[in-house]
A = this chain, B = another copy of it.
Amino acid sequence: MKKLINKPEDVVKEALSGMLAAHADLVRVDVEQQLVIRKDVPVQGKVGVISGGGSGHEPMHGGFVGVGMLDAACPGAVFTSPVPDQMLAATQTVNGGAGVLHIVKNYTGDVLNFEMAAELAAAEGIEVASVITNDDVAVQDSLYTAGRRGVGVTVLLEKIVGGLAETKAPLERVASLARKVNDHGRSMGMALTSCTVPTAGKPTFELGEDEMEIGIGIHGEPGRRRVKLASAAEITEMLVAPIVEDLGLKSGEQVLAFVNGMGGTPLIELYVVYDNLQRILKGKNISIARSLVGSYITSLEMAGCSITLLRLDDELLKYWDAPVHTAALRWGM
């Protein structure tokens, strides 16, 4: 295992300590309890927006904490759900009297633990709404999931919903927009190589030198099929076709197109994929109104990419464009 780490069991806490040191202008970090918290919370009258999940997907979620996006993130151990206590502490900390939205990726552990945290918070009189992201068209059930997995749309949802929450919209409306974003987006990913969980010390799965996995999950869980390595154009087509079909995208519609790196893939390759993507969409007369190219929801050092398409309307565009200031996404301020 070749990694820039010290003890495998210390990776998450040391990375959080590094985040705190690098971004003390934006966030407070409770390294022991593993919480990344927007520096100026609670904001009175604003819905608190929190998310969380296993570590190893950086910058998600800690890198999305700040003005216009998340109020707090609860990172668990690598690829392991955070515990309800973390989520409850985050909920209490960000509650500014207008309630708290939990953004939960659809993995069994995350869903159960966020449910328990929501019940504990409700018992304390904090109003909580939850939205579950399940945008991955690759598989119906999987190793850690009943139903579809939550992947790339989560990034876009946290940005858009964070933008609305900043206007002090009520919890019901913030939750409703969150569900709308999830409904409007679909994703699919692929891997050229496996990743290695630090405490495991060996690759999560094996792929031959001439193989790739189509429909991979963000924890290396199996996808749709293992096939021979193909060109970027062919790979892009394999990812885009099921997304377009599942979303029912039609000629004349506009989307946000997100090409995401899995952690070990360099930017030059992501732009090659984006070039193929824009050609395919142009061929279908689907226009790309906004784009995002980079590694935002990763799987440690896995090489590969995912594509997310989000059907846009004026409301989603407005809150996507709204100012944001986090470690990983920043514009307008």
Judge whether B269 and A3 touch: CB under 8 Å.
Answer: yes
Determine whether the beta carbon of B209 is less than 8 Å from that of A2. Answer: yes
Q: Which residue of B lies closest to A21 (CB)?
A: B278
Q: Contact: B272 with A4, CB < 8 Å? A: yes
Q: Give Cα A19–Cα B272 distance, bound, in whole angstroms.
A: 9
Interface centre among A59, A232, A271 (most CB of B within 10 A): A271
Please measure, in the bound complex, the distance between the C-alpha atom of A235 and the C-alpha atom of B18, giving whole angstroms.
Answer: 16
Q: Which of B12, B209, B275 contacts A15 (CB 8 A)?
A: B275
A193 within 8 A of B: yes
Chain B nearest CB, measured from A167 CB (Å): 21
Cβ-neighbour of A3 out of B3, B5, B192, B288 (below 8 A)? B192
A58 & B2 in contact (Cβ 8 Å cutoff)? no
B6 pairs with A59, CB closer than 8 A: no
Selecting from A117-125, A142-150, A156-164, A297-305, the interface stretch reads A297-305
Query: With A and B bound together, what is the CA distance between A288 and B59 in angstroms?
Result: 22
Are B333 and A268 in contact, CB atoms less than 8 angstroms apart?
Answer: no
Which residues A233-277 have CB closer than 8 A to chain B?
A: 233, 235, 263-276
Interface string of A5-21 (1 = CB under 8 A from B): 11000011011111101
What chain B residues lie within 8 Å of A278 (beta carbons)?
A: 18, 21-22
Most buried by B among A17, A58, A266, A304: A266
| Residues of A in contact with B (beta carbons under 8 Å apart) | 2-6, 11-12, 14-19, 21-22, 55-56, 58-59, 63, 192-193, 209, 212, 229, 231-233, 235, 263-276, 278, 288, 291, 293, 295, 298, 300-301, 303-305, 330-333
- 22 A-B pairs within 8 Å (CB atoms) are namely A2-B192, A3-B192, A4-B269, A4-B305, A5-B272, A6-B276, A15-B272, A16-B271, A18-B275, A18-B276, A21-B275, A21-B278, A22-B271, A22-B278, A22-B291, A56-B266, A58-B267, A58-B268, A58-B271, A59-B267, A265-B301, A266-B295
